A and B are shown apart, each in its own frame.
Chain A
Amino acid sequence: MKNFLIIDGHKIKDSYWELEKSLMIEMLQKMYEIRFFEGETEQFIIKGQIHGTCHLYVGEEATAVGAIYASEKKDYITSTHRGHGHCIAKGGDLKLMMAELLGKATGYCKGKGGSMHIADVTSGNLGANGIVGGSIDIATGAALTCKMKEKDKIVLCFFGDGAANRGNFHGSLNMASIWNLPIIYICENNQYGMSTPIKEAFNIKRISDRKCAYNIEGLTIDGNNLVEVYNTIKHFSEYCRSGKGPVLVECLTYRWKGHSKSDAQVYRSKEEVKEWMEKDPIIRYETFLIENGVLSKQEAIEVKEKAIKAIEEAVSFAEDSPFPDPSTVEEDVYA
């Protein structure tokens, strides 16, 4: 239990084994919920039942689940256009999420937001965002609140590799550094921003190297390894909470599906996708649990079935829900 790991040159406490067994298993279930939620969403897209677009999180589950379970319930998160995974990991209601995707009145945003705007402010989820990088400064502002008023909270700010090139990334990280804000910037490097590979968008090997520009802590980890993500974020959430300032964590991962609704994926090879699918974060974590005797094979199947059932219920709820009344269009308009 007192063991330390070396992750990307950093001495990090191995706190995973301090977790209750039920939480270890819950993380597997959450990953499955994300996987199956996205599976159903894809079906709705194919059937033409989703009016707008969606960005699927399949393949990246370990990053959202590992990081959010390493933080506390009271902490804030900000999410991205690829936000279903963060929302589910933060305890979002699957029914309200699915209803929102179908544009129903019972959805998280009463049908006004859709996939890219799902938020659950009361639980600390400050929302998905249609603007790439749009949440980086919102998250930094939430961290300012944590510094000035809600002193025991921290912020997890998720964003993509593509978003790291927005101008507000620089402004935000610099402010977080000079003001010593309690925030972990979690860059989900899934190798592409839409069709643009990282090697074309950056002239540095590691996005976490940008920590030097702000004189903050930072490192690059395996975003498909749930235990590594958990340990790293746990370690740095304690660091942040104790007032040591911001951190930049780059999680290496991969999106299995096309960028959004329609994407012929001409910019990458099938072999590359296959290679990454072999690093499936769910299979890796499930195998880890079984090998370490946390879970039997039969119990793993039960976890999976529980997740499937939860998604089925969400789908029924969404399908049975009514569309919003057109007269609600100007509700919540104050100017």
Chain B
Amino acid sequence: MREITYLEAIREAMQQMMRINPDVYLIGEDVAEYGGAFGVSVGMLEEFGKERIRNTPISEDAVIGVATGSAVTGMRPIAEIMFSDFITIAMDEIANQAAKIRYMFGGKAKVPLVIRTAGGGGTGAAAQHSQSLEALIAHIPGLKVVMPSCPYDAKGLLIAAINDDNPVIFIEHKLLYKNKRYIQHVPEEIYEIPLGKGDIKRDGKDVTIVATSFMVKKCLEVSEQLKTDYAIDCEVIDPRTIRPLDIDLILESVKKTSRLICVEEACGFGGFMGEVAAQVAEYGFDYLDAPIIRITGRNCPVPYSLVLENEMIPNHERIKKGILDLLRKN
């Protein structure tokens, strides 16, 4: 069985969808010859040509606005924003236009737009190239937000996103792209993973960990350590799409373990895990035997120096300590 990287899975999803549907095209800065800043679209220019692998000037707002306009009129654009930090430049187009057109027009229009972007830190790219801004987008009704943590999910979710008639923001993680440690079997055929369905990445009975994107990997690694060192059995849930949110899957797990830890790379204040915690408190309070714990990025910009960046973004030690504290508290 062939195993491929996260980056290859994303590329394959785009290639296969572009082969079967001439309305699908890729638009963004340096996506053609260069293959995008992270090399995701390398080789696609040769197959599909400049018309469909469309390089743009540095105009994020216009890229998203133009993609939206073409989506409303029948195309199915995949717009790449190099770093997720730059979606803020296109926030009007995303939040006031793409997200609202269908509703505002009384349901009489659709916006089949996918925005692919690279989020997260750990690369020393500092404050303006490392943020995790998913909560900012997920707050807005009318946007679906996807954060795959592995190659299999990335391919199936991206295909579902391209087939979706509504705007989907697809946030990839830079540290997952090429890391051979995380290669995985990915079917060669086209398949979809429905948006709004989470996945149990590790079965366990002692504590439920909800994590997204690269944090899923860290939590899985910590879970193995805790199994060996403390015989603690963690269940790791990856919501995969943060909006719509598969809260039922999380509640089911909390019912079993009675404890919840939420782990996210983003700053905690106003973050997505606050939503998860609130919903579990609302609908699953009786299942809980302990307070809900959040382990999040510190509430500051992402610093440059490696020592500081490691301190800002949740690391293995911090996650481990959080779990141990929670279990001992009881």
Tell me whether B308 and A324 are in contact (CB under 8 A). yes
A53, A193, A195, A267: the one within 8 Å of B125 (CB): A53
A111 touches B300 (CB 8 A): no
Partner of B57, one of A109, A111, A201: A201
Rounded to whole angstroms, the CA-CA distance of A130 and B311 in the bound complex is 22
Q: Contact check, A330 vs B34: say whether CB atoms are below 8 A apart.
A: no
Those of A303-335 within 8 Å (CB) of chain B: 323-324, 326, 328-330, 333
- For the complex, is B179 an interface residue (Cβ under 8 Å from A)? no
Is chain B's interface secondary structure helix, strand, loop, or mixed overall? loop
- A329-B311 CB under 8 A given contacts A130-B129, A195-B33: yes
Asked if A245 CB lies within 8 Å of chain B CBs, one says: no
Range class of the B interface residue count: 35 or more
Q: Looking at chain A, what size class is its interface with the partner chain?
A: 35 or more
Once the chains are docked, how many angstroms separate the CA of A183 from the CA of B113?
40
Evaluate contact between A166 and B304: CB separation under 8 angstroms.
Answer: no
Decide yes or no whether A178 CB sits under 8 A from chain B.
Answer: no
What number of residue pairs across chains A and B have CB atoms under 8 A from each other? 123
Q: Could you say which residues of chain B place their CB within 8 Å of the CB of A103?
A: 124, 304-308
- Name the segment of A113-121, A208-216, A224-232, A289-297 touching the other chain: A113-121
Question: Would A193 and B57 count as touching, CB distance under 8 A?
Answer: yes
162-216 of chain A: CB within 8 A of chain B: 162-163, 165-167, 193-196, 200-202
Q: State how many angstroms separate the Cβ of A329 from the closest Cβ of chain B.
A: 4
Residue of A nearest to B304 (CB): A114
Interface flag for B159 (CB, 8 Å): no
Is the pair B57, A329 in contact by a Cβ cutoff of 8 Å? no
Interface contact B129-A111, CB-CB below 8 Å: no
Does A11 reach chain B (CB closer than 8 Å)?
Answer: no
**How far, in whole Å, are A324 and B306 apart by their CA atoms in the complex?**
9
Q: Which of B244-299 contact A (CB under 8 A)?
A: 298-299
Docked-complex contact B307 and A116, CB < 8 angstroms? no
A131 at the interface (CB under 8 A from B): yes
Q: Determine if A117 and B127 form an interchain contact, defined as CB atoms under 8 angstroms apart.
A: yes
CB of A266 closer than 8 Å to a CB of B: yes
Q: Is the CB of A329 within 8 A of B86?
A: no
Interface flag for B312 (CB, 8 Å): yes
- Whether A113 lies near B127 (C-beta < 8 A) is yes
Most chain B beta carbons < 10 A, residue from A50, A324, A333: A324
Q: Assuming the A-B contacts A52-B123, A326-B311, are A196 and B55 also in contact, with contact meaning beta carbons closer than 8 angstroms in the complex?
A: yes
- A194-B34 contact, Cβ under 8 Å, with A52-B123, A114-B124, A329-B308: yes
Query: Which 9 interchain pairs have the tightest Cβ spacing?
Result: A51-B124, A103-B305, A52-B124, A114-B304, A111-B305, A130-B128, A195-B34, A165-B57, A201-B57
- The 30 sampled A-B contact pairs (Cβ below 8 Å) are A50-B124, A51-B304, A52-B123, A100-B304, A103-B305, A111-B307, A116-B126, A116-B129, A117-B126, A129-B128, A130-B125, A130-B127, A133-B58, A134-B128, A165-B57, A166-B58, A166-B59, A166-B89, A167-B89, A195-B30, A195-B32, A196-B30, A196-B55, A201-B58, A323-B306, A326-B311, A329-B298, A329-B308, A329-B311, A329-B312
Q: Which residues of B contact A (CB under 8 A)?
A: 29-30, 32-34, 37, 55, 57-59, 61-62, 85-86, 89, 123-129, 298-301, 303-312
Please report A residues at the B interface, Cβ cutoff 8 Å: 50-53, 100, 103-104, 109, 111-114, 116-117, 129-134, 162-163, 165-167, 193-196, 200-202, 266-267, 323-324, 326, 328-330, 333
